[in-house]
Amino acid sequence: MTESDAPKLVGKTRWRRVPLVLVPVYAMIAGLFILAATGMLAVSFAVSGVGLTVTADSLTTGAVDTNGIGLYQFGVADFAGNGTPVPQFETIVPHATLVNLCQSVSVGPLTLRTTAGNVAGSPVTATNLVVDATSLSSTGGSFTNINIGQDMGTFTNPALTMPIARGSGPNVNTGPVPTGTFGQTATAASLTGLRQVANATSAGNFTLPNLSISFGAPC
């Protein structure tokens, strides 16, 4: 959508309420990348195309990375096994805490359900968390030092990369995020009532207390 396409607002703007109104928009720009020692590496495997539902009572970012950023968000295209590009919302979280995490995916006629972090005081924690989602919603959220319209190609410490082509075997080739790529960043963020449909999840370290995997109802 261009500025000329945007609806023209009439009346008084309550600036303190603007971030709350824009929370769904923030969520829909996103997907997640792995933070490696040499840079931010996009999910580098071909996605199956089978969506999985992921929910959590809350997701909170932790310490910032060496760019001073706790959350990156922008859109990219992953690649299916046949080379077809799959649009995704990309969200980068170097350090994440999730309460009452649930993940479900269809396995034939059954639903495989994974839960963790559902006991008070024992949340799920992840470093370099990666979730590539086709949709994401939240009942509420807050962002600290948010920059909307950030050029995602300007980060160097580490730099950001993205999928550029289907590679050999299960791999996808990556390259630098082009200068001028639209996105948003924040030094900290917190989302409640998180629900997303994702094609891929990855993390450098994923701690899952009270882990349970079974066939059951969708999340």
Query: How far is the C-alpha of 34 from the C-alpha of 37, rounded, in Å?
Result: 10
In whole angstroms, what is the distance from residue 33 CA to residue 133 CA? 11
DSSP one-letter string for 46-104: -B-S--EEEEEEEEEE-S--TTS-SEEEEEEEEEBTTS-EEEEEEEEEEEEEEESEEEE
Question: Considering the entire predicted model, what is its pTM?
Answer: 0.76
In whole numbers, what is the pLDDT of the chain averaged over residues?
A: 81
Side-chain half-sphere of 40: how many Cα atoms within 13 Å?
32
Residue 179: the pLDDT is 93
* Intra-chain end-to-end CA distance of the chain, in Å: 32
In sequence order, which ranges of the chain are alpha helices (DSSP H)?
18-27
Cβ distance 200 to 45 under 8 Å?
Answer: yes
**Low-confidence spans in the chain with pLDDT less than 70:** 1-44
What pLDDT score does 30 carry? 34
**Residue 27 in tokens:** 């969520």
- In angstroms, the CA 178 to CA 156 distance is 12
pLDDT, residue 34, reads: 30
Distances (CA, A) of 172 to 43, 98, 117: 8, 28, 31
So what's the pLDDT on residue 42? 58
- Express each pLDDT in 50-79 by its tens digit: 888 999 999 999 999 999 999 988 888 888
C-alpha–C-alpha distance, residues 42 and 58, integer Å: 24
